[in-house]
Amino acid sequence: MSKLDEVPPEQVKYPGWKDTRVPEGAECQDTLGMVGGRYIRCAKPATVIVALGDDHPYYMCRECARFCVANRGGKYLLGGPSEAVAGKP
């Protein structure tokens, strides 16, 4: 269920460092690649907020969040591992 962003990367709205909820209708912002200067995003319903390195936070689905925390050094800002797939960090 991936989709090409409708806006250029510099216009994408990301969550803030102190956001306390994922807005209804938010989609997973984890990327699967880039085509023509636009990201291909996962686009599943977002349920958590994850920060990757020193970059800004991202809305993510549980599956992408779990992968990013386990393999890319991500950290849960909202939702945490208890809401990730199978309750694993």
What digits encode the pLDDT tens for the residues 7-53? 776 777 889 888 888 999 999 999 888 888 888 889 899 999 999 87
pLDDT at position 65 is 93
What the block records as the tokens of 17 is 């460092």
Cα–Cα distance for residue pair 84/60, rounded to 1 Å: 10
What would you measure as the largest C-alpha separation in the chain, in angstroms? 37
pLDDT at position 28 is 92
Cα–Cα distance for residue pair 45/79, rounded to 1 Å: 13
pLDDT at position 1 is 65
